[in-house]
Structure formats: C-alpha cells, structure tokens
Structure 1
Amino acid sequence: MNKVILIGRLTKDPELRYAAGSGTAVCRFTLAVSRQFKKDETDFINCIAFNKQGEAIAQYVTKGRQLAVTGSIRTGSYDGQDGIKRYTTDVIVESFEFIGNSNNGSVNSQNNDYWNMPTDNEFGVEEPIDDGDMPF
C-alpha cells in the first residue's frame, strides 16, 4: 500500500501550469513538515496536484498556509541538461484539507473537526487510544 498523510506549511506560493496538448492543470508546491520527535528538524516534501484540486490549491493557498494532504509517493528520473541522471520523489495529491489559521486569522473549525485537531493549534498533543476502539 502506498499512502501518505502530511500536515505542513507551504514554503512558497503554489505554481500552477497547464500541460501542453491536454490542458490538464498541474499544481506544484512544497510542504514544510516538522518531524514528530525532533521539532527543530523539518522535511521539505514536493507535492503535485492535478485538475480541479490543483486549481483550488493555486487559487486559495499561499506561502505559510497550513495544509493537510493525502496522496501517494511517486519516484521518477530524468537526464539533466548536463547529462547526469536525476531522481525525483513527489507526493501525488489525492485529497487535501485547509487547516489551521486562514489569512484573516480565523480558525477553520470544520476541517479541524475532520482531522480531530484542537482548534487552538496546539499540535503534538496526543489523545490516548482505548483498545476497545481498535477495528482489529
């Protein structure tokens, strides 16, 4: 199974382009995701969203905005202009949620309820799981 769930902040405004020939919207952006146990370490994850999702992200999300993304990891390679083979790793976005503070400072409580996150943005607080709630 290839499934990724990320919560992070955009490092810069998303880049929206349209594929030649098909006209498919392709939105590229990078999420800065803090590591769980080392808050001073951050991973920068390249993400790609297509079609309406890509257009929505490009239109409504800006640098610094917090976003939750689900998707799958894709790897690839290409030959650079200097003849050296380059390798890529991207997350292909399947769905996303706006979370955290919006540009006007209000908290998007609908999405926080979906992700079961506190509305005061105190991330890292884990709720204990009752073994009776486990599906297996």
Structure 2
Amino acid sequence: MIQRFIELGEGYSDIFEWLELLKTNENRFHHVCIFTSVLNDVKKLSVALVLKPASEGNFTPIYYCREGIEYSAEKTSKRILLVEKTLQERNYSPHRLEVKHSSYFAEPALYHQYLTGLLRLHHILPPLS
C-alpha cells in the first residue's frame, strides 16, 4: 500500500481546490485532519484530506494545504471557517493534531514521513500491508 502526501499549496484558492476534492470524492472519504504548528510564536494550520484507495490499486492519497492558514484566538480565518462549515454540512469531524512545523525538517519528504507516522500512530492511516 502506498500512502502519499499531495501538496496543493498554501494560498486562498488552494483551499477551494481542497474543498472541491472533498465534495467530489465523498465516496472515497476516509478522514480529515487539521494540523497545528508553531514557528516564531505564530500558529499555523494545515488541512489534510485522506481518501480511501481507488478501486484499482493500493494508493492512498492525502491531499493537503500546508501551513497556509494563520490561527489567532482573536480572529478566526475565513478559510478555516469555510473548511469547518463544509465539514459540518457533511457531518465529518476532523482529527486535530499538534505537529512540528515543516521548517524543522531538511526536506518535504522527511516531513511527510513524520506526518505519516503520526497518522498511523493515531489509527487515521492503516498500517502498511
């Protein structure tokens, strides 16, 4: 089984693409995760959509927008409100995990391995078969 992160980007329009993937792949929906990381006292959110493998093959895609949403207790981002509204409409509850910021890793592949390990630890991703 292959489990791979597919990064969409950090911008505002990337969230719309991520939401469209959620809506159009409801038959493959597995989990949604919201990762929180901190760098220089700035809290950032990432959203991840885990889909079940397609009928042919053992590829589990994890579409995500990495650290593109700033989190503030005083003012909630419109992007995270849009994500939460879409999840509520579908009765999906996200897994919320505090993770290390991606800048702690020398390259994105190492960061993805770290996240994959956390998702397996929390039984969000199945173990390799």
TM-score by length of 1: 0.30
Say which structure is richer in helix. Answer: 2
Question: RCO higher in 1 or 2 (8 Å CA, sep ≥ 6)?
Answer: 2
Say which structure is richer in strand. Answer: 1
Return the index of the structure with the highest Cα Rg.
Answer: 1
TM-score by length of 2: 0.31
